[in-house]
Structure 1
């Protein structure tokens, strides 16, 4: 593989412990010239779907490199650690569905390996800290140009774990869509494509509440819901100068009904 100057890190490690620094340190020891981009370390603990969404919506805008994702409630169990090869970069992390949406965003998985070569891992692997002892050293070696095939045994991409498809249900007066993510501002991203906005007659209602069909937040009066197409090309709900998540009382995994007429 061609060496790359970049590694990205997306985790649920938080910022109050030394977990992130330890991963940086492993990379720095093995590949001191490689630069690390911290996507986020504030994914809610064990929220694999949120981590997958953040990773998938970010990697298309990062330089070609090795993208490490660690949201890993199954760490130390029989779940596999994997490296995925795509046209747009490499992905390293647990085989729990976290990486596949990002792989699709980078052009799809062309090859996959299970991380079984002990020479690519830390001399001692903690059963609870694979980010430091498995994924960081593998990412560093890949960034240095190490062939992915040397990291372990080949995996059939069809056997990789996939997250359940989010719910999107068309209804006579609109649609019901699962909440994919809630961002820092309280904006609620739905599992609904931009085209569904055009299927609603008149101004929309979100969970029975009137909303403005907008291009950006300021298209709605202060405190009013706005339904818009977000930067990922999905429908999302915001409140101008407020938090849609608080007004709607929903969270990831909940269903939100969007209609063209008032509805409960």
Structure 2
């Protein structure tokens, strides 16, 4: 694999991303790096997991280096997981599991314990540089997965809870799965759930959040409604989303990830 896809919550104000790039370049100078994002909200494993899973189907066969790691320096495992055309490298905290699913499921995994494939710096707070980036670079340079450490039963890999979803007659209840930087609110439901609830043929649908309800058009694009108006649409990841044309639906509707929304006629 000549590609390394790289996702973190490090941001770009400090040198953390550059340090990891440097480690990869020293070990695997022929590897090419795709920066997926480094703007995952700090320590938000769930957000990172959603972004990684949504992006993975569009990446070339890659070593996927993902680090959102609130438990760095603890006993949580560092792992590499083979899934489809990819090998996912990162903390075993649920960050990798949905991406592995998107690649066809975890086939093999190892714990990253082999000292020859780590950096020895004495630090305990920067495993992205000292553990995960070296492992990803060595894999990109041709080191076999089995060399990096002992096998891990893929059934024991940590998974995040599945998003809450209920589908009934004339009703879809779903939690907010992710909010993007534009304030678009993607639910844990899509076109299939709308069809199952027989709501897909409606021009307008009732959106209920707590005690608040409003009717919104089910549109094909943001610009199908006037600027500043709210709408429902199926987004680029196939999810049912609440949006505001050229506005911020999360702020307008006071929603965040994990909140529950009901869609009905």
Q: TM-score, normalised by structure 2?
A: 0.94
Which residue of 1 is the match for residue 262 of structure 2?
Answer: 257
- Partner residue of 2:139 out of 142, 145, 157: 142
How many Å apart are 1:173 and its aligned residue?
A: 4.4
Q: How does 1:110-189 map to 2 (within 5 A)?
A: 110-124=107-121, 126-171=123-168, 173-189=170-186
Which residue of 1 is the match for residue 253 of structure 2?
Answer: 248
Which residue of 2 is the match for residue 216 of structure 1?
Answer: 221
Q: Distance in 2 between matches of 1:48 and 1:209?
A: 32
Structure 1: stretches of 5+ with no match in the other structure: none
> What is the alpha-carbon root mean square deviation over aligned residues?
1.2
Q: Distance in 2 between matches of 1:11 and 1:205?
A: 37
Q: Distance in 2 between matches of 1:125 and 1:212?
A: 57
**Alignment size in residue pairs:** 257
Does the 8 Å contact 1:211/1:226 carry over to 2? yes
| Greater shift in the superposed pair: 233-242 or 110-119 | 233-242
Q: Distance in 2 between matches of 1:125 and 1:138?
A: 17
How many Å apart are 1:171 and its aligned residue?
A: 4.7
Q: Secondary structure at the match of 1:235?
A: strand
How many Å apart are 1:222 and its aligned residue?
A: 2.3
- After superposition, what is the alpha-carbon deviation per residue over 1:75-129, rounded to whole angstroms, capped at 9, x for unaligned? 1111000000112211000000000111111111110000010111002352110
Q: TM-score, normalised by structure 1?
A: 0.94
How many Å apart are 1:205 and its aligned residue?
A: 1.8
Q: Distance in 2 between matches of 1:56 and 1:209?
A: 31
Which residue of 2 is the match for residue 194 of structure 1?
Answer: 191
Does the 8 Å contact 1:125/1:134 carry over to 2? no
2:54 aligned with 1:57: yes
How many Å apart are 1:172 and its aligned residue?
A: 5.2
Evaluate the alpha carbon distance shift between residue 173 and residue 197 of structure 1 in structure 2; reply closer, same or farther with a 3 A threshold: closer
Q: Secondary structure at the match of 1:215?
A: coil
Q: Distance in 1 between matches of 2:39 and 2:229?
A: 28
Does the 8 Å contact 2:167/2:193 carry over to 1? no
Q: How does 1:1-20 map to 2 (within 5 A)?
A: 4-20=1-17
Structure 2: stretches of 5+ with no match in the other structure: none
Evaluate the alpha carbon distance shift between residue 100 and residue 121 of structure 1 in structure 2; reply closer, same or farther with a 3 A threshold: same
How many Å apart are 1:73 and its aligned residue?
A: 0.4
Moved over 3 A (4+): none
